[in-house]
Chain A
């Protein structure tokens, strides 16, 4: 069965108990093994903390902090020109700068001109020529140098048999 007064040990160690309560606990601890052990363990923990190294701030820390506070205090550049505000607004993606627009126009113009040059070098065919060019009759079944002739000859040999 655990001693109920054990929970007072931390406050005793931290000097948070008032006069009468403190004296009463001191008397109790002398006769209670459990409270005595708890107090000893807690003192041991305190000693471990006492041996912990304290870390001073790094060299120049305050200087760096003050430099950052001065940067925070730097005045804002004032209201932006109308065009800058338009460019940075929600419709900014749809707004093309003058330079970008000029480049776009040049590219489109070059493309159109190039297309016209290419089409002019190949004059349009009369309708009749178009029709005949698409006809199957224009295709030679056995173009010179192909195996088509040999293939047809084989078929004819087979048929003879």
Chain B
């Protein structure tokens, strides 16, 4: 799917208007940072990786083929950057547990849940974080693209440059592994 706004930004950039790239960063910074954050597990690594993604995009944009969609192209750079990222062992500094700044649990004051639901939600969040941390980087990437970034199978295939069959089998494998790890985590912590 081609975003008309993206095509216009690319055209402006190719005509020498570098401010167009700034608009592109503003448009996609949250998505890319969120992906890096869930891939790498801590804010500093995520910011460094996200910065690297956009710098690579800046250098490669003149060669971008307009037949592809810009956001899957950015996601591909982001996924590869995170898989290759070597700042820290992946998920060494998990942000989990009560009281931590970076929790996986959604707890806006506007829809404050009951204590029981909050506890259950927190346990689920911790189990999920444990599970994601134990997946291989490639399976982690694909499940994040599917469940958090809500890409379709086709978009994931384009992002990761793999076949639809491989997308389906990896997603199924990632879910299966994730459920096993989460189940084990819950049993150990119940």
Contact = CB atoms under 8 A, between A and B. Distances in A.
B55 A68 contact: yes
Contact of A51 (B21, B32, B105, B152): B105
B34 A62 contact: no
A11 interface: yes
A53 B172 contact: no
B168 interface: yes
B142 to A, nearest CB: 12
A73 interface: yes
Give chain B's interface secondary structure class: helix
Interface in A1-56: 7, 10-11, 14, 16, 41-42, 45-49, 51-56
Interface residues of A, number: 30
Interface stretch (B65-73, B78-86, B124-132): B124-132
Contacts, number: 104
Give the interface size bracket for B toward A. Answer: 35 or more
B146 interface: yes
Contacts of B125: 48, 51-52
Give chain A's interface secondary structure class: helix
B51 A68 contact: yes
Given A52-B104, A55-B37, A65-B25, A45 B175 contact: yes
Given A14-B153, A53-B105, A58 B43 contact: yes
Contacts of B127: 48
Interface in B120-154: 121, 124-125, 127-128, 146-148, 152-153
A29 B102 CA distance: 38
A45 B171 contact: no
Contacts of A14: 146, 152-153, 171
B153 A57 contact: no
Interface in A58-77: 58, 61-62, 64-66, 68-70, 72-73
Contacts of A62: 22, 25-26, 29
A11 B147 CA distance: 13
B26 A10 contact: no
Interface of B: 18, 21-22, 25-26, 29-30, 32-34, 37-38, 43, 46-47, 50-51, 54-55, 58-59, 102-106, 121, 124-125, 127-128, 146-148, 152-153, 168, 171-172, 175, 178-179, 182
Interface of A: 7, 10-11, 14, 16, 41-42, 45-49, 51-58, 61-62, 64-66, 68-70, 72-73
20 contacts: A7-B172, A10-B175, A11-B168, A14-B171, A42-B175, A45-B182, A48-B128, A48-B182, A49-B128, A54-B34, A55-B43, A57-B30, A57-B33, A58-B33, A65-B55, A66-B25, A69-B21, A69-B55, A69-B58, A72-B59
